[in-house]
């Protein structure tokens, strides 16, 4: 650094120890009912990576450093544009968790995720590309500050997200400017959570504002008092009064989000080093204040090991903008930009902050008639005035404030009430840096938890309620409730309802049902114009224009768009749509006029700015075009279109040097990511600039790469554009597309529909185009169209395995045709027996179809090479080995592998580990090898590190302690036996459903009963067994639905679950256990046998049928 006041920004290669990940799965992952972070866990069109390697390597990353006198910030554009390190240079404190290794775990939406630093999540949490590269650009600003911009266009919904990281001279904060832009024609939803990790220990405390008295769980499904929790939260009993702002007090994975705060900050503080972190943002648009922890128990420690090699535990202090919960999505209208600013800063020495802004932070702690005052500043303020007043002036002094040294003072305030105090810090007589007045005390009634939308739409009382329910399900991207049913029920009651027609039409439009959507938009328009032709809201007209345009009815679309702009709200999008059609008609002057009107309403609309630049260039108004392109780059330093127009303009003006420089920059910015090229080309083509669209795509197609490495969609689009240009090259590109590698080609844009359909018409046989279009239709919830396309593809190219695999999913999940699903999936596997994912899906289908587990085990033994490739296959193999009774082999198999669980999918491998150890111990007891039994049971209580999971606090291990008691009793150690039986007899006594990894296993109550019998407490034992029977009888015929507020349901990833059947198995299992405990062998056998007939691979049923048989044999 040349001067202390300077800001430096630099690119630098850094070497970081890294655990590699596997290649993305080539099969399209639809995962349509996966629940992730409380909303939809769909990943399509992204591929999924579910392989993590255990051998560490050293990898080079291009890092960007921002540095001033006080701070050093390191950003990794290769890994989602995350902040990898944020260092306070004044004391050497990493104010965000600095993970010195890149150690991915299966936490992200699409797989790999790393801990540490600050992750930026949009348009949903743990965003799809959190582990992928982003575009970036460095800027030096006139005020001496330096900015790094990172950007990407989301492939799932088409929105663009940017973050600008700025350091200022002499300021100890990092400013983050967010820019979110909806570059699509329809409203989209989003959330933004910045996710800083903070290193923690037993001295670490989260710092929430003093007006936060209640916190919510995900989806606001549960609520707790704060900071002193006094109830049950995350199944932990805090009734004694526990301060959950301290990491050391939360033993299990826990999220909590502030219900409300009128303050602008959140932070964390390590009392052992007297240093912490603060986030500051306008609470009116940044209400989200959240803490997440894995918990300080064994479970959390296992996840710490999964994510780092030595940097220890962390918590996440997340900060939400336009969102206050997860999930909590907001809307972006077509072409809308939302901007905001966040600040992250270190602080020191002053403890728990009571107020903070970008200039300063203050603390005020009262004890025994004294006040401890603390002030920290983010810049140098010489001779700042610090005053504490109440009934009188208790403190008035001047101090030199700076980021290097905080101010603290102990002040005598005897007789003063806390609420009567005010702390002020002034830079001078007229400039207040910060102030704080303690909150008034009073009883704070806890807020009510959220209520689920009824599963049956007919139970909602009004059409308005149905409209709002459907809209909410769309907005929050609900994983298992579909908005269609609510809209259609409303339309059944009132087919003329304006809002329902418009909303349902928009839903159909999103799904590519253009003609069907037109019907509903016309109905909405008819209702809106019932009394006069000039409706209050132009949205139905705008949507009608889109539906007509997608159908090629351009004249009618033009009229609809024009009517939409009669309303101010739709002038931005409506005039832009009109300008596109003007350009198609080559009426560039009219297009220019319409674009001017669009930009009056939305000056930052990058798509309108691009089109205006292209129109000006076409009209040979180069100077105006160049000026507009420069302005666009100022607004968005990573706007592909503005750079491309600048490149074209430089070429047209004969400035070869400038053109070459821009060409190189554009190539570097677009990278090798075909999504960027297709997005830019589609913007041009939508306005009839087909030559430019072709040129953009030929930049990628012409790169020195194997043609099979180019996405087929690039070739299809080139064929489509050339066909519109009436060029014979169209056929060549369509053929290239058909012969290109299908790997990772997962189309999902509405524009893709026309392109793929055109290819199908142009070629005598287009098996791959039909396959890709089927993928798109399935993603758009059009399963019958998908099946038709896939069947056409399979007929044309029967040797293509993936299309048969996709058909199997559709046959089973949509047509409920298990036989055809099995045939299709068996065909897929026979065509590609090296595909471990397809083998997993085939086995899961066999399991769903209740194929005998011995036959499934035989298949696993035939495909050992595939089993080694995937944890889920390996665990299922171990499960089958356990079912076979070869528990020693299961134990050795489990010991021979390092497992990598999915977050939310924990419990599978540890369940088999415990099962094997307990069953070995039971065999030992049967052979009177009691000491050996005790050894295995004690091992069952401790999870080995290679399992990748730790034990949850409060885990119920009734069966283990029951058998320990039995072993000790047989050894004559009655004291130990009784202690174990007492431990086995405790825990939750009420049966419940078991769906999540932390739910009570159903057999725990059974073993409570057995333990009570062993203790001679027959009455209490019978109570336990009767509770099992009562629950089973009461719930056997329940109609079961997935929990509306489910946060994670990893099991529902492939084939739809028959929840009623699963419930019947569960209830009959409980009935069987209850009767078994009461000694009613006939009834026990009847219920357990019925359960087994429904699910032959049910491990618990299998085990207890063996127990029953052994008892009967005696």
What does the H/E/C string look like for 318-360?
EEEECCCCCCCCEEECCCCEEEEEEEEEEEECCCCCCEECCCE
Please indicate, yes or no, whether residues 227 and 298 belong to a single structural domain of this protein. Answer: yes
> Does any domain span residue 753?
no
The C-alpha atoms of residue 593 and residue 615 are separated, in whole angstroms, by 11
Dihedrals φ, ψ of 195, to 5°? -125, 80
Structure tokens that stand for 548 in this block: 């007509």
The C-alpha atoms of residue 46 and residue 101 are separated, in whole angstroms, by 25
Please indicate, yes or no, whether residues 212 and 93 belong to a single structural domain of this protein. Answer: yes
Mean pLDDT of the chain: 97
> Does any domain span residue 260?
yes
Place of tokens 């279109």: 641
Contacts of 794 (CB under 8 A, 6+ apart): 767, 800, 803, 804, 807
What is the domain count for the chain?
A: 6
Q: Decide if 35 contacts 1048 (C-beta within 8 A).
A: yes
- Minimum mean pLDDT range among 30-39, 205-214, 878-887, 903-912: 30-39
**Structure pTM?**
0.96
Domain boundary among 544, 576, 600: 600
Q: Within 833-984, where are the H helices?
A: 836-848, 853-862, 864-867, 871-884, 887-895, 908-926, 930-940, 958-970, 974-984
pLDDT at 2: 43
Structure tokens that stand for 972 in this block: 């004559």
Contacts of 345 (CB under 8 A, 6+ apart): 95, 172, 173, 174, 277, 278, 280, 358, 378
The C-alpha atoms of residue 276 and residue 606 are separated, in whole angstroms, by 39
The C-alpha atoms of residue 997 and residue 398 are separated, in whole angstroms, by 57
pLDDT at 1051: 62
pLDDT at 708: 66
The C-alpha atoms of residue 596 and residue 632 are separated, in whole angstroms, by 15
Length of the chain: 1114
Please indicate, yes or no, whether residues 827 and 876 belong to a single structural domain of this protein. Answer: no
Conformational region of residue 117, where left means phi above 0, alpha means psi within -120 to 50, and beta covers everything else: left
Contacts of 798 (CB under 8 A, 6+ apart): none
Among 376, 344, 347, which Cα is nearest to 174's? 344
Structure tokens that stand for 945 in this block: 């590190």
Among 1000, 1002, 1007, 1066, which Cα is nearest to 1033's? 1066
Please indicate, yes or no, whether residues 211 and 77 belong to a single structural domain of this protein. Answer: yes
Among 549, 557, 559, 524, which Cα is nearest to 539's? 524
Dihedrals φ, ψ of 518, to 5°? -55, -40
Task: Check whether 986 has a pLDDT greater than 70.
Answer: yes
Task: Check whether 1023 has a pLDDT greater than 50.
Answer: yes
Kindly state the average pLDDT of the residues 778-800.
Answer: 99
pLDDT band per the 50, 70, 90 thresholds, residue 707: low
3-state helix, strand, coil in the chain (%, to 5): 45, 20, 35
Among 118, 142, 194, 134, which Cα is nearest to 638's? 134
The C-alpha atoms of residue 850 and residue 1093 are separated, in whole angstroms, by 8
The C-alpha atoms of residue 162 and residue 81 are separated, in whole angstroms, by 10
Please indicate, yes or no, whether residues 1040 and 966 belong to a single structural domain of this protein. Answer: no
> Does any domain span residue 221?
yes
Q: Which helix (H) or strand (E) holds 179?
A: strand 174-182
- Pairing type for strands 8-18 and 57-67 reads antiparallel
Strand partners, 236: 233
Q: Which helix (H) or strand (E) holds 39?
A: strand 39-40
Please indicate, yes or no, whether residues 573 and 428 belong to a single structural domain of this protein. Answer: no
Instruction: Spell out where 1004-1081 has E strands.
Output: none
Dihedrals φ, ψ of 464, to 5°? -65, -45
Structure tokens that stand for 659 in this block: 């053109």
CB atoms within 10 A of CB 498: 22
Three-state DSSP at 895 gives helix
Instruction: Spell out where 200-348 has E strands.
Output: 204-207, 214-216, 223-225, 228-229, 232-233, 236-237, 242-243, 254-258, 265-270, 275-280, 288-293, 314-321, 330-332, 337-348
> Does any domain span residue 364?
yes
> Does any domain span residue 386?
yes
Structure tokens that stand for 1027 in this block: 């509770």
Q: Which helix (H) or strand (E) holds 486?
A: helix 484-493
Please indicate, yes or no, whether residues 99 and 231 belong to a single structural domain of this protein. Answer: yes
Structure tokens that stand for 277 in this block: 């972190």
Q: Decide if 909 contacts 901 (C-beta within 8 A).
A: yes
Q: CATH number of the domain that 221 lies in?
A: 2.70.98.10
Q: Decide if 1080 contacts 1065 (C-beta within 8 A).
A: no
Q: CATH number of the domain that 966 lies in?
A: 1.25.40.10
The C-alpha atoms of residue 591 and residue 595 are separated, in whole angstroms, by 6
Classify residue 877 as exposed, middle or buried by CB count within 10 Å of its CB (0-12, 13-18, 19+): buried
> Does any domain span residue 590?
yes
Q: Decide if 58 contacts 90 (C-beta within 8 A).
A: no
Strand partners, 148: 138, 165
Task: Check whether 894 has a pLDDT greater than 90.
Answer: yes
Among 86, 154, 79, which Cα is nearest to 113's? 79
Q: Decide if 502 contacts 540 (C-beta within 8 A).
A: yes
Domain boundary among 416, 436, 456: 436
Please indicate, yes or no, whether residues 50 and 141 belong to a single structural domain of this protein. Answer: yes
Task: Check whether 133 has a pLDDT greater than 80.
Answer: yes
pLDDT at 38: 87
Q: Within 619-685, where are the H helices?
A: 622-635, 640-652, 656-670, 674-685
The C-alpha atoms of residue 549 and residue 185 are separated, in whole angstroms, by 11
Strand partners, 214: 225
pLDDT at 1: 39
- Minimum mean pLDDT range among 18-22, 478-482, 878-882: 478-482
Please indicate, yes or no, whether residues 237 and 94 belong to a single structural domain of this protein. Answer: yes
Strand partners, 149: 137, 164
pLDDT digit string (tens) for 446-474?
899 999 999 999 999 999 999 999 999 99
> Does any domain span residue 181?
no
Place of tokens 């220890």: 312
DSSP-derived secondary structure letter, 989:
-
pLDDT at 1083: 98
Q: How far is CA 313 from the centre of its chain?
A: 21
Task: Check whether 428 has a pLDDT greater than 90.
Answer: yes
Please indicate, yes or no, whether residues 919 and 818 belong to a single structural domain of this protein. Answer: no
Task: Check whether 11 has a pLDDT greater than 70.
Answer: yes
Q: Within 207-341, where are the H helices?
A: 298-307
pLDDT at 994: 76
pLDDT band per the 50, 70, 90 thresholds, residue 321: very high
pLDDT at 390: 96
Buried b (16+ CB within 10 A) or exposed e, 775-814: bbbbbbbbbebbbebbbbbbebbeebbbbbbbbbbbbbbb
Instruction: Spell out where 349-405 has E strands.
Output: 355-356, 360-367, 370-377, 381-389, 393-401
Question: Could you tell me what percent of the chain has a pLDDT over 90?
Answer: 94
> Does any domain span residue 741?
no
Q: Supply the range of the domain harboring residue 410.
A: 355-436
Task: Check whether 718 has a pLDDT greater than 60.
Answer: yes
- Minimum mean pLDDT range among 5-9, 528-532, 607-611, 944-948: 5-9
CB atoms within 10 A of CB 91: 16
CA dist 254 → 217, 244, 249, 292 (Å): 8, 10, 11, 6
Please indicate, yes or no, whether residues 372 and 321 belong to a single structural domain of this protein. Answer: no
Please indicate, yes or no, whether residues 27 and 106 belong to a single structural domain of this protein. Answer: yes
Q: How open is the CA angle 635-681-629, to the nearest 5 degrees? A: 30
Task: Check whether 3 has a pLDDT greater than 60.
Answer: no
Task: Check whether 558 has a pLDDT greater than 60.
Answer: yes
Domain boundary among 809, 836, 861: 861
Question: Could you tell me what percent of the chain has a pLDDT over 70?
Answer: 99
């Amino acid at each position: 650094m040349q001067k202390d006041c300077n800001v430096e920004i630099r690119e630098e290669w850094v070497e970081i120890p890294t655990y590699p990940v596997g290649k993305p799965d080539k099969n399209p992952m639809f995962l349509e009912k996966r629940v992730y972070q409380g909303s939809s866990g769909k990943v399509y069109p992204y591929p999924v990576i579910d392989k993590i390697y255990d051998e560490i390597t050293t990898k080079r990353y291009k890092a960007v450093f921002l540095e001033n006198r006080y701070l050093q910030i390191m950003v990794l554009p290769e890994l989602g544009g995350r902040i990898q390190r944020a260092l306070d240079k004044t004391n050497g404190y990493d104010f965000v968790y600095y993970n010195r290794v890149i150690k991915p775990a299966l936490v992200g939406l699409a797989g790999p995720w790393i801990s540490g630093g600050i992750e930026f999540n949009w348009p949903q949490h743990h965003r799809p590309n959190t582990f992928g590269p982003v575009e970036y650009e460095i800027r030096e600003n006139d005020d001496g500050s330096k900015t790094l911009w990172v950007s990407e266009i989301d492939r799932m919904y088409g929105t663009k997200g940017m973050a600008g990281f700025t350091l200022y001279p002499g300021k100890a904060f990092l400013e983050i400017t967010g820019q979110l832009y909806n570059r699509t024609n329809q409203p989209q939803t989003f959330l933004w959570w910045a996710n800083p990790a903070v290193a923690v220990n037993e001295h670490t405390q989260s710092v929430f504002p003093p007006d936060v008295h209640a916190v919510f769980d995900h989806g606001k499904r549960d609520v707790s008092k704060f900071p002193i929790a006094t109830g049950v939260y995350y199944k932990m009993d805090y009734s004694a009064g526990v301060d959950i702002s301290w990491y050391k007090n939360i033993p299990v994975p826990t999220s909590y989000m502030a219900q409300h705060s009128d303050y602008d900050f959140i932070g964390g503080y390590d009392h052992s080093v007297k240093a912490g972190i603060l986030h500051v943002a306008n609470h009116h648009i940044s209400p989200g204040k959240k803490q997440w922890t894995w918990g300080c128990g064994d479970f959390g420690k296992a996840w710490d090991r999964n994510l780092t090699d030595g940097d220890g535990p962390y918590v996440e202090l997340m900060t939400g903008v336009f969102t206050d919960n997860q999930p909590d999505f907001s809307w972006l209208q077509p072409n809308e930009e939302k901007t905001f600013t966040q600040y992250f800063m270190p602080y020191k020495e002053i403890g728990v902050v009571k107020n903070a802004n970008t200039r300063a932070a203050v603390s005020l702690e009262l004890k025994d008639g004294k006040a401890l005052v603390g002030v920290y500043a983010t810049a140098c303020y010489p001779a700042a005035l610090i005053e504490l007043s109440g009934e009188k002036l208790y403190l008035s002094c001047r101090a030199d404030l700076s980021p290097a040294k905080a101010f603290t003072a102990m002040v005598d305030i005897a007789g003063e009430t806390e609420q009567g105090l005010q702390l002020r810090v002034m830079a001078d007589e007229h400039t207040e840096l910060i102030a704080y007045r303690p909150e008034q005390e009073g009883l704070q009634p806890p807020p009510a938890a959220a209520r689920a939308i009824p599963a049956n739409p007919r139970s909602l009382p009004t059409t308005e309620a149905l409209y709002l329910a459907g809209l909410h399900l769309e907005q929050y991207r609900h994983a298992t409730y579909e908005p269609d049913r609510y809209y259609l029920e409303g339309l059944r009651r009132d087919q003329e309802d304006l809002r329902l027609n418009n909303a349902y039409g928009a839903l159909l439009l999103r799904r590519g049902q253009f003609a069907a959507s037109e019907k509903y938009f016309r109905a909405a328009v008819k209702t809106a114009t019932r009394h006069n032709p000039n409706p209050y809201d132009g949205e139905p007209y705008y949507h009608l224009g889109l539906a007509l345009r997608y159908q090629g009815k351009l004249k009618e679309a033009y009229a609809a768009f024009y009517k939409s702009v009669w309303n101010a709200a739709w002038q931005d999008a409506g005039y832009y749509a009109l300008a596109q059609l003007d350009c198609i008609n080559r009426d560039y002057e009219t297009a220019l006029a319409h674009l001017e009107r669009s930009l009056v309403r939305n000056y930052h609309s990058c798509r309108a700015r691009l089109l205006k630049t292209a129109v000006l260039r076409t009209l040979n108004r180069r100077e105006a075009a160049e000026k507009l392109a420069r302005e666009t780059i100022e607004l968005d330093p990573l706007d592909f279109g503005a750079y491309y127009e600048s490149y074209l303009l430089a070429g047209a003006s004969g400035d070869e040097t400038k053109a070459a420089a821009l060409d190189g920059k554009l190539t570097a910015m677009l990278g090798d990511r075909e999504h960027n090229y297709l997005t830019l080309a589609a913007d041009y083509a939508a306005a009839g600039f087909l030559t430019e669209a072709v040129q953009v795509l030929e930049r990628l197609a012409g790169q020195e790469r194997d043609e099979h490495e180019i996405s087929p969609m690039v070739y299809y689009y080139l064929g489509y554009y050339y066909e519109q240009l009436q060029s014979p090259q169209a056929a060549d590109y369509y053929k290239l597309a058909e012969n290109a590698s299908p790997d990772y080609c997962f189309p999902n844009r509405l524009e893709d529909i026309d392109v793929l359909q055109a290819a199908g018409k142009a070629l005598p046989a287009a098996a791959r185009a039909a396959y890709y279009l089927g993928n798109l239709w399935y993603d758009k919830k059009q399963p019958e169209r998908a099946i038709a396309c896939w069947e056409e593809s399979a007929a044309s190219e029967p040797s293509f395995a993936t299309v048969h695999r996709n058909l199997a999913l559709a046959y089973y999940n949509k047509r409920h045709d298990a036989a055809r699903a099995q045939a299709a999936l068996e065909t897929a596997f026979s065509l590609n027996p090296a595909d471990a994912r397809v083998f997993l899906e085939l086995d899961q289908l066999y399991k769903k179809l209740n194929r005998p587990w011995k036959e499934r085990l035989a298949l696993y033994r035939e495909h050992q090479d595939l089993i080694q490739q995937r944890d889920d296959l390996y665990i299922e193999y171990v499960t089958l080995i356990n079912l076979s009774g070869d528990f020693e082999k299961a134990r050795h198999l489990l010991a021979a592998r390092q497992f990598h669980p999915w977050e939310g999918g924990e419990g599978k491998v540890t369940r088999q580990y415990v099962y094997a150890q307990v069953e070995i111990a039971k065999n030992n007891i049967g052979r009177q090898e009691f000491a050996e039994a005790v050894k295995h049971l004690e091992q069952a209580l401790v999870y080995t590190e290679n399992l990748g999971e730790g034990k949850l606090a409060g885990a119920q291990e009734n069966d283990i302690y029951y058998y320990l008691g039995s072993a000790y009793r047989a050894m004559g150690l009655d004291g130990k036996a009784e202690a174990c039986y007492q431990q086995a007899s405790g825990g939750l006594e009420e049966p419940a459903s078991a769906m999540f990894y932390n739910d009570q296993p159903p057999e725990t109550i059974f073993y409570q009963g057995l333990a009570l019998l062993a203790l001679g407490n027959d009455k209490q034992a019978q109570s336990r067994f009767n509770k099992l029977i009562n629950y089973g009888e009461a719930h056997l015929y329940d109609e079961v639905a997935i929990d509306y507020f489910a946060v994670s349901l990893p099991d529902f990833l492939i084939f739809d679950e028959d929840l009623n059947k699963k419930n019947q198995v569960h209830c009959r299992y409980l009935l069987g256990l209850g009767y078994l405990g009461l000694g009613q062998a006939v009834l026990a056998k009847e219920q357990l046998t019925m359960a087994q007939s429904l699910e032959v691979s049910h491990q618990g049923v299998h085990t207890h049928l063996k127990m029953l048989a052994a008892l009967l044999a005696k």
